Amino acid sequence: MSSGPRYVRYLILAALTICTFFVFSRNAIPIPENIGSKIDTYKGAISGYTSSHSDNASPEQPVTHAPSSSVSAPVAARVNATFVTLARNHDVWDMARSIRQVEDRFNRNYHYDWVFLNDKPFDETFKKITTALVSGTTYYGLIPEEHWSYPEWIDQEKAKKVREDMGQKKIIYGDSESYRHMCRYESGFFFRHPLMMNYEYYWRVEPSIELLCDIPFDPFRFMKENNKMYSFVLSLYEYYDTIPTLWDSVKKFMGAYPGHVAEGNSMEFLSDDGGKTFNKCHFWSNFEVGSLDWLRSDSYIDYFSSLDRDGGFFYERWGDAPVHSIAAGILLPKEQIHFFNDIAYYHIPFTHCPASEQLRLDLKCHCNPNDNFDWKGYSCTARYFDINDLEPPEGYPESN
């Protein structure tokens, strides 16, 4: 029976090892010191800008909630990046599901921050649940009223009539006022919130998404090291009745700012006739990893401001997905847009699942390849491969 004392010694040694690991590995992420200066840098880009607050805190000292029992990865191993979510308090449980997907499949190894934004103050339940699930530091921001309201040049009666007409036609979100504010905010303001100012890259996460495979690499680092500005996993055609004059506004912008139009851009992804008309192809923006510096650039700010002045966010129902996609397509060289084939993703009703069986096995995927939307008729992903002269990924149906 001499194994008894030896077993106890093993237990004591294991406990001491674990305690030592936690003492030396725990690394709370500090509040960014230069966030105030970065806010000042971009104030001039927003007409009527006033600093927003993270609930009741100033931009220089935002409300943060660090997890109480996580072990942070070394800061040097991470890119200056964050997850970002626009959500409301009633989204808490759908958001909890998304966070677990992201943490279990990726962030438990990296502990990136997470910024939550809301046009109303977050309640304690939302903060408590999300903080407990995120392995990085969580930040909670209040959207300033001027970014979630009508600009002075919008005729609100005209906008109301448009919503009523679209509602009668059963156009999805056609009668929603809040959806329009959301699309405008995601198109032109989220990246200028004070809590976002200290980051270089963002990963947008929405409630009730699924990540269907492990992510054994850092997408943020991939973007930075390969000079990528925008990325996607799903693409499709937009519902034309929501954007009938969007391309007219885009052409007006290109005429006014020809220097912002990039050489070697992705116009062929967006148009079948050299830019005369929009073919409605766009990247689905409920998943996107991108450069915040690009979104804050003169070219993007001028692009958004030009579109915003035309009023289509309210007089039609312009979505942030085509707005972001067209911007990436005309303002960036095509090689700066990336398709993450190895990030398997689901957002109702579409799935991206890697076509390669070996890749799915390697990444411990649980998606059904028959559900993959990439090569179906309503997807634009094949067009992306064509215009970039890329070989289809392994398992692509036509390569067999």
Q: Give the model confidence (pLDDT) of 95-144 as tens digits.
A: 999 999 999 999 999 999 999 999 999 999 999 999 999 999 999 999 99
> Residue 299 pLDDT > 90, yes or no?
yes
Enter the DSSP assignment of 391.
P
- pLDDT in the model for residue 75: 59
Percent of the chain at pLDDT above 70?
A: 80
Query: Are the C-beta atoms of residues 215 and 287 closer than 8 Å to each other?
Result: no
Q: Which of 103, 210, 238, 288 is catalytic?
A: 288
pLDDT band at 335 (very low <50, low <70, confident <90, very high): very high
Nearest by Cα to 296 from 375, 223, 198, 399:
198
pTM score, whole prediction = 0.83
Nearest by Cα to 269 from 287, 284, 282:
282
> Residue 42 pLDDT > 80, yes or no?
no
Tell me the mean pLDDT in the region 348-354. Answer: 97
> Residue 14 pLDDT > 50, yes or no?
no
Question: Looking at domain 75-339, which CATH architecture does it have?
Answer: Alpha-Beta Complex (3.90)
- pLDDT in the model for residue 28: 32
> Residue 243 pLDDT > 50, yes or no?
yes
Nearest by Cα to 159 from 281, 306, 350, 318:
318
| SS3 label, residue 203 | strand
pLDDT band at 77 (very low <50, low <70, confident <90, very high): confident
Nearest by Cα to 184 from 225, 215, 143, 235:
143
- pLDDT in the model for residue 64: 55
Query: Are the C-beta atoms of residues 236 and 282 closer than 8 Å to each other?
Result: yes
- pLDDT in the model for residue 152: 97
- Say whether 288 is catalytic: yes
Query: Are the C-beta atoms of residues 130 and 96 closer than 8 Å to each other?
Result: yes
Burial-class residue 373 by CB neighbours within 10 Å (0-12, 13-18, 19+): buried
> Residue 330 pLDDT > 90, yes or no?
yes
The domain limits of the chain are 75-339
